[in-house]
Amino acid sequence: NINGTTTLHNGVTMPVLGLGVYKAKEGSEVIESVHHALDAGYRHIDTASFYENESGVGEAIKSSKIPREEIFVTTKVWNDDQGFEETLKAFDKSLEKLGLDYIDLYLIHWPVPGKYVETWKALEKLYSEGKVKAIGVSNFLEHQLKDILNDCSIKPMVLQNEFHPRLVQQSLIDFCKRSQIQYEAWSPLMRGEVFKNPLLKELAKKYGKTVAQLVIRWDLQKGVVTIPKSVHRNRIFENADVFDFEISEENMRRIDALDREERTGAHPDDFM
């Protein structure tokens, strides 16, 4: 169900479905989006300092009256704030904007060359101090992940990457599985691009679901945590209504085969 969770390698439970809020505007837009999601049963919100809407996310959580510990909140350290001391400062700023006394998951947003290992050490410190329940990375390929694994005292719990039927990166997912790192999808709907795909349309019809629901379900059956974004109440509810059907193994493989290594966002080796 919507409150399904996965257990990270440190024992923390993470809801498998969350709301993404990239481009949800600070103020009433993001506040209302988070309220719609909490009404629909979501208990996981994905923000970032870069999105400039942490205050609204925090305000929505507070005004929902849902106990803090029932909601899983992710935020991320932005590229300009990387480095050891800078990251500690950026974390405090995020915490203050969110109005929370801990974060559930703190991620390195992008692997800034020459900086991400130092940034990781700051995340380890924040984790050891109990200010964040889990730490991870985003937009990392295997070589960047290995740089961390070779040099860390705490292994990342999560890798959040662009992931949708046009960009699967199965070998990276398998590497994460072997390393007990939970894979998480950003832009799971390829920012709307998936809706045009004929196979996805055909399969959605067959299951009596929308393409969005089919693709979100595909994420979950692949063991990938997913955070589709919408600010519209009906779509936020629609995106969570994915627990009453199952995609067959054969159709899972047909969706996997749509992979073209196509990205909507930047490449992790070339984003600066």
Stretch that binds ligand NAD, among 17-25, 128-136, 146-154, 170-178 (CB under 6 A): 17-25
Residue 54 contacts ligand NAD per CB under 6 A: no
- Residue in this structure with the two tokens 């809706």, named with its chain if needed: 195
Residue 94 contacts ligand NAD per CB under 6 A: no
Q: How far is CA 147 from the centre of its chain?
A: 22
Residue 233's nearest CA partner among 34, 25, 43 is: 34
Q: What is the dihedral of CA 81, 160, 36, 32, to 10 degrees?
A: 20
Please state, in angstroms and rounded to a whole number, the distance separating the CA atoms of residues 151 and 148: 5
Active site (annotated) includes residue 51: yes
Q: Return the structure tokens found at 91.
A: 């974390």
Asked if 95 contacts 122 with a C-beta cutoff of 8 angstroms, the reply is no
Residue 265 contacts ligand NAD per CB under 6 A: yes
Residue 234's nearest CA partner among 215, 214, 210, 217 is: 210
Catalytic residue among 22, 42, 51, 116: 51
Stretch that binds ligand NAD, among 7-15, 20-28, 92-100, 253-261 (CB under 6 A): 20-28
- Which of 230, 240, 251, 255 binds ligand NAD (CB under 6 A)? It is 230
Stretch that binds ligand NAD, among 2-10, 124-132, 174-182, 222-230 (CB under 6 A): 222-230
Q: Return the structure tokens found at 244.
A: 């009453």
Residue 192 contacts ligand NAD per CB under 6 A: yes
Residue 139 contacts ligand NAD per CB under 6 A: yes
Residue 98 contacts ligand NAD per CB under 6 A: no
Asked if 44 contacts 17 with a C-beta cutoff of 8 angstroms, the reply is yes
Residue 201 contacts ligand NAD per CB under 6 A: no
End-to-end CA distance of the chain: 39
Least gap, CB of 207 to ligand NAD (angstroms): 15
Q: Nearest 5 degrees, angle CA 222-CA 135-CA 181?
A: 30
Residue 5's nearest CA partner among 81, 96, 104 is: 104
Name the residue whose CB lies closest to ligand NAD.
Answer: 20
Residue 73 contacts ligand NAD per CB under 6 A: no
Q: Return the structure tokens found at 22.
A: 């990239």
Q: How far is CA 200 from the centre of its chain?
A: 22
- Which of 16, 46, 54, 220 binds ligand NAD (CB under 6 A)? It is 46
Residue 239 contacts ligand NAD per CB under 6 A: yes
- Strand residues in 187-266 grouped as ranges (E): 225-226
- Which of 145, 190, 214, 220 binds ligand NAD (CB under 6 A)? It is 190
Least gap, CB of 77 to ligand NAD (angstroms): 11
Residue 75 contacts ligand NAD per CB under 6 A: no
Least gap, CB of 132 to ligand NAD (angstroms): 16
Binding site for ligand NAD (CB under 6 A): 20-22, 46, 109, 138-139, 160, 186-192, 212, 227-230, 235, 238-239, 265
Among all residues, which ones are annotated catalytic? 51
